[in-house]
Amino acid sequence: MNNFKALVPYLLMHRTQYTLGTLAVLGANTAVLLPAYFLGRAIDGLRLFSSGNPATPGLTLSQLGWLALGLVLATLVSGTLMVAVRRSIVFASRQTEYEIRRDLFAHLSGLDKNYFDSARTGDLMNRLTGDLSAVREMIGFGSWQLATVVSSFLVSFAWFFSINWRLTLAVLVVFPVIIGILAYLARQVSVRYVPMQEQNSAISAKAQENFSGARVVKGYATEDREIAEYKVMNSELIRRALHLNRVEGPLQAFMSLLMGVAYVLVLIYGGRMILGLVPGSPLTLGEFTQFALTLERLAWPMLSIGLIANMLQRGMGSWGRLQEIFAARPRVHDSGRTDRSVKALQGDIRYENVSLDFAGRKVLNNVTLHIPAGQTLGITGPTGSGKTLLSQLVTRLIDPTTGVVKVDDVDVRQIPLSTLRENIAVVPQEPFLFSDTIASNVAFGLDNAHYQPIETRKSVRDTRPPEDNDVQPDMERVQRAAEIAGLASEIVAFPGGYNTMLGERGVTLSGGQRQRTALARAIAREPRILILDDSMSAVDTETESRILAGLRQVQEGRTVLLIGHRVSTLRHADHIVVLEEGHIAEQGSHDELLAAGGLYAELERRQRLESDLSEGDEAALAGSAPGQVSAPADARPRPGTADLRSEVKK
């Protein structure tokens, strides 16, 4: 129930709708019981009339007419009020769903790498859809039905007591049983529902990973194994779902039975009263009819109690799962230490005795480095040596365990995250492109200023709908970036040029094209600090040199962290570090490192040998089969790709 507190603010946003709706339910349930009263009156009146006793003349024709009119009006009023209920409570629940979904998404967007490293996409999707629907049903249909039950019982029992209190007490006998059953049901549903939703999440995650990883599954021909695993998870899901359904079925029947018992009691006990066998408690035929008809009206609310308890338990279970998302906090965030006055950055980077631990394992060890603004630092080293982490410390995707990372001599933890990241562009090792046009993908980092922050924890009625932010990207900048990234000529050849859709609804790019699109995205941003994390591994050496030459022209005043494995790439850097198991094994300029004869020199020697070898091959090929061989822009294994990766096993 602690969870419930967090839901209250969302309900309060639409308190008028929910209150009016509840009042309408009360009104409708009062009106719906009036026909029973009118009928009872009519029956008693008609009975007196037909007994022919002049002392009690009974009902006149006009009185009968009024009763009939009242009956029609009552039905009309209750019908109208039911429409009002739908318009208020059900509409409000949709709005609440919107608000929770908006806030969840905003909250998720504010979480950091840490969270998404461990969260499963499929699970999150399931929570945003299935669990959110369960919550909406609880507050929409659930609260409506709950109000119906409560008001039906209140109004009915008010009538019951006004008619005959002894008969009412007889009916009340069945209630302790009902309450006991409900308590049991609620407990059962709550212990069975969450495991079912967990399985739902697991199965969504499995499907999502299989579709995203379709190429791997196909490549390894493991479809059958995946299908078998999915089948096992699917049958577990149905087992848990049936386990849940099993508690619901018999309960409905049991409630019916209890209604039957109540009827029998009313018939026997009420009948005896009409016959005058219960001293001091007379009952007329009309009153008996009203009593029985009112009881009849209670049948549905009674039956729906099980349904409601079920819906509330499911809703609260799901709300708990959404609360888990809301409870997650980013580890890296602005804090009291943040210095808001930092607005612009020059791009001078310092690492001072930086170490980073993961579960007690040192992945970066006492790194000290200075990269003056505008310079290029080359970083190389075997896979897993910490190159990516070293670069992520600058964007604060992660904070160091000990030591300080500074930009412009300010601890990055004091620089507002937004300022820091606005000045940096990263081309990650595995680029991610959106299912959008090439132009939008390249312009992705440009138009931030056009977007207003989304207001959360506010009613949809108080916030204006998000503006149509269909900002046209600055095409000149996009084209210039594509040019430098060596992508322009290929884009022009696409069917739609820059407006060609990528991904699901459009063309599929090769690995090298993806990398160069990501590169163009970073270049278009014209950042102070540019981080290239092995981002040209799928681009051949010649294209890479061309791109780097282009980059150097626009690089004026930009600091570049260039992570790579090719000496041909790294040699132009102002300074080069070679990482090994998280520490700097050697550093210096290209020439200094060659002269030192260490890891870097060994790397250079091997790549030179390889390149000589394959040049020999090419010469031989050219001799035997003369012809035009156009150089593909994307690399298959090509000269110069030997790297330190193999060193890792040493």
| Interface positions with ligand ADP (CB under 6 A) | 117, 358, 363, 381, 383-389
Do strands 402-407 and 376-380 pair parallel, antiparallel, or not at all (unpaired)? unpaired
Indicate the residue among 546 and 645 with the shorter CB distance to ligand ADP.
645
Residue 512 partner contact from Mg ion, ligand ADP, none using kind-dependent CB cut-offs of 5 to 8 Å: none
User: Residue 502 CB, nearest distance to ligand ADP (Å)?
Assistant: 26
Indicate the residue among 388 and 437 with the shorter CB distance to Mg ion.
388
Do strands 529-533 and 575-580 pair parallel, antiparallel, or not at all (unpaired)? unpaired
Q: Which amino acid is at 150?
A: V
Residue 386 partner contact from Mg ion, ligand ADP, none using kind-dependent CB cut-offs of 5 to 8 Å: ligand ADP
User: Residue 118 CB, nearest distance to ligand ADP (Å)?
Assistant: 9
Indicate the residue among 58 and 384 with the shorter CB distance to ligand ADP.
384
CB distance 484 to 561 below 8 Å: no
State residue 209 phi and psi, 5-degree precision.
Answer: -65, -35
**Farthest CA pair distance, the chain:** 131
Indicate the residue among 248 and 357 with the shorter CB distance to Mg ion.
357
Residue 143 partner contact from ligand ADP, Mg ion, none using kind-dependent CB cut-offs of 5 to 8 Å: none
| C-alpha gyration radius of the chain | 37
First to last CA, the chain: 57
Question: Does the protein bind Mg ion through residue 388 (CB under 5 A)?
Answer: yes
Indicate the residue among 165 and 358 with the shorter CB distance to ligand ADP.
358
Residue 419 partner contact from Mg ion, ligand ADP, none using kind-dependent CB cut-offs of 5 to 8 Å: none
Residues 144, 146, 152, 155, CA torsion sign:
negative
CB distance 618 to 546 below 8 Å: no
Long-range contacts of 366-371 (CB under 8 A, 24+ apart): 366/403, 366/583, 367/403, 367/582, 367/583, 367/584, 368/584, 369/577, 369/584, 369/587, 371/559, 371/561, 371/575
491/266 Cα distance (integer angstroms): 83
Number of residues near Mg ion (by CB under 5 A): 1
Q: 646 is written with which tokens?
A: 């193999």
Q: 396 is written with which tokens?
A: 């604060």
User: What does the H/E/C string look like for 124-138?
Assistant: HHHHHHHHHHHHHHH
User: Of 40, 267, 34, which is closest to residue 155 (Cα–Cα)?
Assistant: 34
User: Residue 257 CB, nearest distance to ligand ADP (Å)?
Assistant: 58
DSSP secondary structure letter of residue 448? G
User: Residue 411 CB, nearest distance to ligand ADP (Å)?
Assistant: 21
User: Residue 429 CB, nearest distance to ligand ADP (Å)?
Assistant: 7
User: Residue 564 CB, nearest distance to Mg ion (Å)?
Assistant: 11
DSSP-based three-state secondary structure for 227: helix
Long-range contacts of 471-480 (CB under 8 A, 24+ apart): 471/447, 473/439, 473/440, 473/442, 473/443, 473/446, 473/447, 474/443, 474/446, 475/439, 477/443, 477/446, 477/524, 477/526, 478/439, 478/442, 478/443, 478/520, 478/524, 480/524
User: Residue 356 CB, nearest distance to ligand ADP (Å)?
Assistant: 8
Residue closest to ligand ADP, measured at CB: 388
Indicate the residue among 175 and 358 with the shorter CB distance to ligand ADP.
358
User: Residue 362 CB, nearest distance to ligand ADP (Å)?
Assistant: 9
State residue 403 phi and psi, 5-degree precision.
Answer: 90, 175
CA dihedral 231, 232, 233, 235 (to 10 degrees): 80
User: Residue 429 CB, nearest distance to Mg ion (Å)?
Assistant: 5
Residue 294 partner contact from Mg ion, ligand ADP, none using kind-dependent CB cut-offs of 5 to 8 Å: none
Find the helix or strand (DSSP H, E) in which 583 lies. strand 583-588
- Cβ-based neighbours of 567, under 8 Å, separated by 6 or more: 590, 600, 603, 604, 607, 608, 640
User: Residue 326 CB, nearest distance to ligand ADP (Å)?
Assistant: 23
Across-strand partners of 580? 583
Residue 383 partner contact from ligand ADP, Mg ion, none using kind-dependent CB cut-offs of 5 to 8 Å: ligand ADP
Indicate the residue among 45 and 428 with the shorter CB distance to ligand ADP.
428
30/311 Cα distance (integer angstroms): 25
Indicate the residue among 211 and 358 with the shorter CB distance to ligand ADP.
358
Indicate the residue among 307 and 397 with the shorter CB distance to ligand ADP.
397
Binding mask 432-471 for Mg ion (x = CB under 5 A): ----------------------------------------
Listed ranges 22-30, 81-89, 383-391, 636-644: which one lies at the site for Mg ion (CB under 5 A) = 383-391
Residue 58 partner contact from ligand ADP, Mg ion, none using kind-dependent CB cut-offs of 5 to 8 Å: none
Binding mask 335-374 for Mg ion (x = CB under 5 A): ----------------------------------------
Indicate the residue among 163 and 367 with the shorter CB distance to ligand ADP.
367
User: Residue 386 CB, nearest distance to Mg ion (Å)?
Assistant: 8
Residue 117 partner contact from Mg ion, ligand ADP, none using kind-dependent CB cut-offs of 5 to 8 Å: ligand ADP
Indicate the residue among 388 and 559 with the shorter CB distance to ligand ADP.
388
User: Residue 331 CB, nearest distance to Mg ion (Å)?
Assistant: 20
Write the DSSP assignment of 243-296 as a string of letters.
Answer: HHHHHHHHHHHHHHHHHHHHHHHIIIIIHHHHTT-STT----HHHHHHHHHHHH
Residue 437 partner contact from ligand ADP, Mg ion, none using kind-dependent CB cut-offs of 5 to 8 Å: none
Residue 525 partner contact from ligand ADP, Mg ion, none using kind-dependent CB cut-offs of 5 to 8 Å: none
User: Residue 393 CB, nearest distance to ligand ADP (Å)?
Assistant: 10
Residue 389 partner contact from ligand ADP, Mg ion, none using kind-dependent CB cut-offs of 5 to 8 Å: ligand ADP
Query: Which residues would be at the binding site for Mg ion (CB under 5 A)?
Result: 388
